[in-house]
Amino acid sequence: MREIVHLDGDDRDVITVARAAARVIRPDRDTRRALFPQLMGLHRGRRSHLAAPTVPVAGRSAPARVWIVVWGILLTSGLVAASMAAVALGPPGRRNASTSADQAMAVAVPAAAIAIPLLLVVLFLPVPRGKAARYGTVATVPVAVMVAGLLVFRLLVGTEDSRGFSAEQVGLWLRLTLVVFVTLVVLGWRLNRLRRRRSDDPRPDSRDAVATMRHLRRTAVRLAETSSGPPDVVLGEWTERLNRLAKSGVNAETIAQARTMSPVAWLVWTFYDGEIDVSDVLPKS
């Protein structure tokens, strides 16, 4: 028996046959002690799986994949532009020693003018599901820290720079970069908050749900192949009990299906159902 078995008949008939199956197995102490707790665990796992709503996995559909790419491009472009705007008036070094003040401003102002609207767009757009919020936080926070450091540097240094910035140039850069920094801070806060909320979401993501379902199915198939007691004795008692149930009015299709299965298998698939009340199926001792 390698596939999921759906039991025929209504819940009452299925449970009636399951009680008979449990009574057949009960004399086999070792099987009973090994099997019955696993049946209850299977039932609880199946019920939890059926009851829990799942979070759809981002990227499963074509529109979702496209949106992740678009959102990522907007965020990355905004962060790159913000970095360029800030670095343009950063500390002088070998890389920018030959860059004049006008050349630095020619990079900083357009970069800031690009960064601000892009970051604002990302700020107000919905964040794709999945790990987008986490990656966005990891990318945004370091850029915000770098911009903050360069702002502090320029506030302390002012126009005293080997490149000869004027007060007007520094003032314009400070205003633009401050707007960039504030936008980065708000964006980073929003992404981090969303990341935490999603990580605390008790609902499993649908990939986890699929993995759980596979595990439950494998467990059920394995348990259904468990043998109990001497085969001839078990089969004889199982057949006798089914005959009695058939005479008592239990659904003929249910009895016919039960005859093709072992009592252990019938119990397993009853408990696997997850929606049938199995509280009084197993004997108390």
- CA-to-CA distance for 237 and 257, rounded, in angstroms? 16
Is 17 domain-assigned? yes
List pLDDT tens digits, range 87-129: 998 887 766 666 788 898 999 999 999 999 999 999 999 988 8
Q: Is the pLDDT of residue 58 over 50?
A: no
Measured on CA atoms in the order 271, 272, 274, 276, is the torsion positive or negative? negative
Q: Indicate if 148 and 260 belong to the same structural domain.
A: no
Q: Band the pLDDT of 243: cuts 50, 70, 90.
A: very high
- Which domain does 247 fall in, by range? 11-53+206-272
Length of the chain: 285
Residues 221 and 153 in one domain: no
Which domain-ending residue is among 151, 175, 199?
199
- Which pair of tokens denotes residue 135? 């990656």
Same-domain status, 221 and 244: yes
Q: Are residues 16 and 100 in the same domain?
A: no
The tokens describing 285, both together, are: 């001792």
What was the pLDDT predicted at 206?
Answer: 54
In a domain, 278, yes or no: no
Q: Which of 183, 199, 215 is the last residue of a domain?
A: 199
Pair 174, 214 in one domain: no
Q: Does residue 175 belong to any structural domain of this protein?
A: yes
H helical segments located in 125-251: 132-157, 167-199, 206-224, 231-247
Does pTM surpass 0.85?
Answer: no
Residue 97 lies in a domain: yes
Q: What is the pLDDT of residue 46?
A: 83
Mean pLDDT, range 180-202, rounded to an integer: 86
Place of tokens 């003032």: 171
Q: How many domains does the chain have?
A: 2
Whole-angstrom distance, CA of residue 45 vs CA of residue 86:
54
- Give which of 255, 257, 267 is closest to 227, Cα–Cα: 267
Evaluated on CA atoms 111, 114, 117, 121, the torsion sign reads negative
What pLDDT is recorded for position 200? 57
Amino acid at 130: G
- Whether 159 is in a domain gets the answer yes
Torsion of CA 234, 238, 240, 244, to 10 degrees: 160
* Of the residues 169, 199, 229, the one at which a domain ends: 199
pLDDT at 57: 47
Q: What is the mean pLDDT of residues 215-231?
A: 79
- Phi, psi of 205, rounded to the nearest 5 degrees: -75, 155
Task: Judge if 234 and 140 occupy the same domain.
Answer: no
Alpha-carbon span 280 to 285, nearest angstrom: 12
Residues 179 and 72 in one domain: yes
Strand partners for 253: none
Looking at residue 42, its pLDDT comes to: 86
